Amino acid sequence: MIKQNWGFTCFLMGVIALIPLLGYAKPPLDLKELTQLGIQNNKDLKAARFAIAIAEARLTQSGLWSNPSLNLNNNDDRLFNNEGEYSRSINFNQAFPISGRIGRQKTVARIDILRAQAEVFEATRQLSAKVANAFYTVVVAENRMQQLNYLQGINQELVRVIHNRYHAAEISKLDDNSARIEYARIKQEKQLLKSQLISQYALLNQLIGRAPNASLHVEKTIKIAKGLPSLGSLINHALNNRPDRRGLLLAEQRALADRRLAQAERFADWNLGVGVQQDKIVVEGAPPQQADRTLGVSLSIPLPILNRNQGRILEAGATGAQAMMAIDALNLAIETEVTSNYGQLNALKISVVQTQGTSLRLGLENVTLAREAYQNGQVSFLNVLQVQRQQNEVQMAYLTTVGQYFQSYVALCTAIGAPHSSELCSYLSFTKDTTK
């Protein structure tokens, strides 16, 4: 009775000790959560966001007038005849725009802010693609590790059985050596895969702004998209949401605004001056003269005769034409990317689903049957090894296809640029969330 109570007490203490660990255990991170972490913490993206602040500062500067100037003049004959003659003046000058230059500069600066935001959106799109590719590489590698762990477990049992049968003189040394070699090969492949996982986890940590050796627990389940929207809707979605296309459209608008600014700057600022001057002269033989004071007003008007900003106007026009051609080229590239990856995704999905439904199940079933038959002495170890390698090849081909499927999926999501209403590419973020 005392022993039973003591055992129950130990069990209860163990459960209590595990409660804090269970409380702190975090669920695995899926792709959407990792992407959000990357958007929030990625170092390069944080640096890219400063482009918006820089553009906003330029908008503030573009709305400012030039500073006024104050001129002080004093002329006298103190170092020469010293008769008391002098001339003193004070002038205040201010340049002011007359052609709408300030408004045109503000328009250009506002477009530059939108372009900076588009650049941040594009950097976010590229970052999301990198995070997704690294995540799916880890998922495929972890599933491959599960396969190797499975093979290692059954081969460890086979090595034990074969070793016992060899010492019982039931099989030859050849079977014993073959089993050990196969077991060593699996362990070697596991070590190679482990080194690859270390590299991929470090890359994933870097992309989400964490230390390379930080612990990271990701969702390893292979999930295949159930259905895809129509190709036409995805192409239209991409054309409406791609930030790089938005950037080119803004570049065209910027060129038009820059052309208008150059036309306005043909007429330079007028300069208005107001001043007061006091003069005193000395006439020989005449009584002392009173000082004279005068009020002066000046207006300086630059004439656009030699320089009418011809070069800048032509440059802005050529820049706008270049942006239009780039938009046409990008439209074709977007349509090609979406169409190509859409077709690949559908083809690979069929292969993955068929393999999941038939080949994987039959392969595992054959391995179990071969092990049981060998233990019963019905087949040779060579047959077991052949069945096991066949199952391994099927699993490898399946994971290779899954890896290609995920690559096409990420490429399609990167091509459309934003999550679709059908839940396709739900790991992506809307542009309004990426500049915060």
Residues in the chain: 436
Is residue 3 over pLDDT 50?
no
User: Which DSSP symbol is given to 433?
Assistant: G
What is the C-alpha separation between 417 and 412, in angstroms, rounded? Answer: 9
Task: Give the residue from 352, 353, 347, 342 showing the smallest Cα distance to 409.
Answer: 342
What is the C-alpha separation between 233 and 11, in angstroms, rounded? Answer: 59
DSSP state string for 198-258:
HHHHHHHHHHTT--TT----B-------S----HHHHHHHHHHH-HHHHHHHHHHHHHHHH
Task: Give the residue from 150, 179, 186 showing the smallest Cα distance to 165.
Answer: 179
- Name the range with the highest mean pLDDT among 16-25, 37-46, 171-180, 387-396: 37-46
Tell me the CB-side half-sphere exposure of residue 237, using CA atoms within 13 A: 23
pLDDT at 434: 54
State pLDDT tens for residues 34-66: 999 999 999 999 999 999 999 999 999 988 888
Would you place residue 420 in the very low, low, confident or very high pLDDT band (cuts 50, 70, 90)? confident
Is residue 140 over pLDDT 80?
yes
Q: Which pair of structure tokens corresponds to residue 74?
A: 């004093």
How many CB atoms sit inside 10 A of residue 393's CB?
11
Is residue 215 over pLDDT 70?
yes
The pTM score is 0.80
Q: 24-64+97-268+304-433: what CATH class?
A: mainly alpha
State pLDDT tens for residues 405-415: 999 999 999 99
Task: Give the residue from 209, 121, 44, 30 showing the smallest Cα distance to 430.
Answer: 121
Would you place residue 24 in the very low, low, confident or very high pLDDT band (cuts 50, 70, 90)? very low
The lowest-confidence range among 172-176, 259-263, 416-420 is: 172-176
Instruction: Tell the residue number behind the tokens 């950097």, with chain if given.
Output: 123
pLDDT at 85: 83
State pLDDT tens for residues 316-361: 999 999 999 999 999 999 999 999 999 999 999 888 888 877 877 7
What is the C-alpha separation between 230 and 213, in angstroms, rounded? Answer: 42
- Residues 337 and 415 sit within 8 Å (Cβ to Cβ): yes
Paired strand residues for 277 = 89, 294
How many CB atoms sit inside 10 A of residue 355's CB?
19
- Name the range with the highest mean pLDDT among 150-154, 230-234, 419-423: 230-234
Backbone angles phi, psi at 178, to 5 degrees: -60, -40
The lowest-confidence range among 12-26, 257-271, 311-325 is: 12-26
Is residue 19 over pLDDT 50?
no
Would you place residue 16 in the very low, low, confident or very high pLDDT band (cuts 50, 70, 90)? low
Is residue 306 over pLDDT 50?
yes
Is residue 250 over pLDDT 90?
yes
pLDDT at 363: 78
- Residues 276 and 293 sit within 8 Å (Cβ to Cβ): yes
